[in-house]
Amino acid sequence: MERKRRVGREREPEERFETVRHYIAALLEEGTYSAKELSQVIRIPEKDVCDHLEHLQRTLGKGDRHLEVICASCRHCGFVFKKRDRLTKPGKCPSCRSIHIQAPAFHIEAGYRR
């Protein structure tokens, strides 16, 4: 049985912030998005999206869902940025120096992190 949390109707600033995060989580449960795509859908700066994603990554890890990160990769040589901890898009490829980088994408999956 899955328990659903009820969202109150009060609109305090902190709650609005929470609501954005819930919105991001809902989108990521439905599909896969890059931070830029999320920022365009929700209309908040990409940097704020990254902050929310980092928070989701931490909090979801304790529950029965987790944030799946599809690593950024180089469109030129295919280099994959596997060791990157930050969720923002890398500036350039360490292998071929190309700046044509495929941004990391995010998705929320059911189940514990492997």
Residues 7, 41, 77, 110: which binds Zn ion (CB under 5 A)?
A: 77
Shortest separation between residue 82's beta carbon and Zn ion, angstroms:
14
Give the footprint of Zn ion on residues 80-99 (CB under 5 A).
Answer: 93, 95-96, 98
Enumerate residues 6+ apart whose C-beta is below 8 A from 57: 67, 69, 87
Give the separation between CA 54 and CA 67, rounded to whole angstroms: 9
Enumerate residues 6+ apart whose C-beta is below 8 A from 60: 25, 66, 67, 108
Does position 41 interact with Zn ion (CB under 5 A)? The reply is no
Does position 7 interact with Zn ion (CB under 5 A)? The reply is no
Positions that interact with Zn ion (CB under 5 A): 74, 76-77, 79, 93, 95-96, 98
